[in-house]
Amino acid sequence: MKLLMPYITGGIVPGWTAYLDAFEDAGADMVEVGLPFSDPTVDGRTIQEASDTALARGTTPASVLEDLATARTGIPIVASTYANIALRPGFGDALTAAGVTGLIVPDLPLDELAGLDVPGVQVSLLASPATPDDRLAEIGRGSQGFVYAISIMGTTGERDRLAPSAVTLAARLKQITDLPVLLGFGISTPEQAGEAAAVADGVIVGAAVMRRILDGAGPTEVGAFVASLRAALSQVATVR
């Protein structure tokens, strides 16, 4: 069974948690919820725009977590945000109170984890195609829940095809960790998700979801896209 984790920028539209239910119904195994930050240096155009849009409506990290606390989503919620927010006092408690079980901080590398205080929350680390072998092993040992494999040397954002670096990195990670390896950054279509899942344990799909939401697609339409990703992953699982 391949894992599917769609991403949504928290607070992107009023009633945004309806998308979480749609993701769950579409067969997502977990969901990544972005707590928008003013300077998303790892993100490409789409998620930058989503962050700006959410912030412009008055969304704050706290308001997203409050929304999550009252959401009825049955799948695990992994928060993602930048170091400036994640390192603030009280952040760990706020995550726990919201029922968040995992955390991704894309600008907080292995070496800086000591500053993060999030008891009870699994912190998943990112591995990059540029990460050397010894460091990759450390990331495998230090990560919790899963390892986030960055498919390409670049920002988040849709791409025409799965980068060859994705395949290489996933294979390297599979050799050094027993944790699930999820490929993310640039996975845009069911076909690409299928290709990625052939070498990894699952996929994270962000910009392709957010572009649809920014273009006005509602939960049903975006849910259908997530279901198409699920279908592509299921085929991979069957073949294997």
Active site residues: 32, 43
The residues in 83-102 that bind another protein, with binding defined as CB under 8 A, are 83-85, 87-88
Q: Which of 17, 131, 177, 192 binds another protein (CB under 8 A)?
A: 131
137 binds another protein (CB under 8 A): no
User: What gap in Å lies between CA 200 and CA 166, rounded to an integer?
Assistant: 9
DSSP string for residues in the chain:
--EEEEEEETTSSTTTTHHHHHHHHTT-S-EEEE---S--TT--HHHHHHHHHHHHTT--HHHHHHHHHH----S-EEEE--HHHHTSTTHHHHHHHTT--EEE-TT--GGGGGG---TT-EEPPEE-TT--HHHHHHHHHH--S-EEEE-SSS-SS--SS--HHHHHHHHHHHHH-SS-EEEESS--SHHHHHHHHHHSSEEEE-HHHHHHHHTT--HHHHHHHHHHHHHHHHHHHHH-
Which of residues 129 and 202 has its CB atom nearest to another protein in the complex? Answer: 129
Kindly tell me which residue out of 38, 144, 175, 220 binds another protein, with binding defined by CB under 8 A: 38
In angstroms, what is the minimal distance from the CB of 155 to another protein? 5
Residue range at the interface with another protein (CB under 8 A); choices 23-31, 147-155, 208-216, 217-225: 147-155
Q: Which is nearer to another protein, 51 or 73 (CB)?
A: 51
Q: Does 39 bind another protein (CB under 8 A)?
A: yes
52 lines the binding site for another protein (CB under 8 A): yes
Question: Which listed range, 93-101, 123-131, 206-214, 224-232, lies at the site for another protein (CB under 8 A)?
Answer: 123-131
- What is the smallest separation between the CB atom of 227 and another protein, expressed in angstroms? 31
CB of 3 to another protein, least distance (A): 20
Which residue type occupies 118?
V
Give the footprint of another protein on this chain (CB under 8 A).
Answer: 37-42, 44, 48, 52, 55, 60-62, 82-85, 87-88, 106-111, 125-132, 135, 139, 150, 153-155
